[in-house]
Amino acid sequence: MDDFLVFKGVTKRFGAMTAVDDVTFNVKRGEFFSLLGPSGCGKTTLLRMLAGFEKPDAGRIFLDGKDVTAMPPDKRRVNTVFQNYALFPHLTLWDNIAFGLRLQRRPKDEIEERVRRMLRLIQMEGQEWKKPTQISGGQKQRVAIARALVLEPQVLLLDEPLAALDLKLRQHMQIELDRIHDQVGITFLYVTHDQGEAMSLSDRIAVMNRGKVEQIDKPAALYEAPRSSFVAAFIGDTNFFEGTVTALIDENYCRVSVEDFGDIVCFNDKHIKAGAKVYLSVRPEKMHLTHEKPSDLHGGKLNVYGATVDQKIYQGAYTRFWVWRGASKDDCWELSVLQVHNRYLLDQQEIGWDEKVWLSWHADDGFMLESYAEQDEEMLPHPTEEASDAGAAPADPAPAPAPAGATDGEAAK
């Protein structure tokens, strides 16, 4: 798989606003590549520049070795699937799919063969006589994809194609898109703000923020090893810690001192030296809450602390907790913990509101960030009055007993 699609130093401005800022990345032939980011990050502008609808102010775009930066849209072998489908309501599904081929004045037998092949691909044989108003949203999206693919583009551009569908239909269409991509084998460039869509569909993802690419990686690497606080907070949920490396335990692990929290043992993959400031990201599902103090069977690599449950929300497959640790609830660290229910919950001792618990996670589960911005914490969910109502605690609850061996939230080391 070679570098089939190349954006090199691409910049696009609209007046004083820079929508895309010196972006460079490569997409491999046949890859399902997603541009992921919040509204206004520049992802759709990049897509429009590849389609030829916008011209970059700087930089070049190459497709299969050819510079297409100034090439007219109709000369580029790229087709776009839009969020609103853009089907012709007065035409049948057959005529919608065949529309581009007829514009190209293709032979009638070739049009017949290609349209039938597309109908088989989208599993809508026998429905070609229907009009767009007679089919569901998911079927409309499949027809729009077929209309784009029938022209045999080198790259299929998909601009938020599932945004207008309900949750169940989006989930079904994700499976359909994956199947179609596997069958046709061409390059898909997918634009979305939905992290779940991008993670489930993509071979690789470029996470964008304010016109720049923050990180390009495989989905698992983006989630487990984010380079910046933006990527860590935008993809999933996390807990941030700011601290100073106080000791190198060995060549792989270090001890980080966090003010008003305690020492954290962390995997030192970046070989940070003692005395350096670091920022850590720990995902909520990597943390564990227990009534009893857990034994460290990992050779000093288990971080264990006393904490108190502030809020909890039961959500079926898991429960989300917010716990606090510190001198008082008004001056403390508040952390998000996600407990997955992989055992029958009713047979287990439930962790309740205001209970003192043990909080633990393995040193390998804290990841050092390369960059941190305080405003990125605003993307994280925080306990609210609404959260309290979702799993309302009883009025004036009885004081919860401290966990075995606990002394006022003291960290176990």
Q: What is the CATH number of domain 3-229?
A: 3.40.50.300
Q: Please list the residues that pair with 208 across neighbouring strands.
A: 213
Q: How many C-beta atoms lie closer than 10 Å to residue 254's C-beta?
A: 25
What architecture is domain 230-390?
Beta Barrel (2.40)
Domain with CATH 2.40.50.100 in the chain: 230-390
Dist CA 345 CA 201 (whole Å): 32
Domain with CATH 3.40.50.300 in the chain: 3-229
Reading the chain (413 residues) residue by residue, the pLDDT tens digits are: 468 999 999 999 999 999 999 999 999 999 999 999 999 999 999 999 999 999 999 999 999 999 999 999 999 999 999 878 889 999 999 999 999 999 999 999 999 999 999 999 999 999 999 999 999 988 998 999 999 999 999 999 999 988 878 888 888 889 989 999 999 999 999 999 999 999 999 999 999 999 999 999 999 999 999 999 999 999 999 999 999 999 999 999 999 999 999 999 999 999 999 999 999 999 999 999 999 999 887 788 999 999 999 999 999 989 999 999 988 888 889 999 999 887 777 777 889 888 999 999 999 999 999 999 999 999 998 776 444 444 444 433 333 344 444 433 343 33
Cα–Cα nearest to 51, from 64, 33, 68? 68
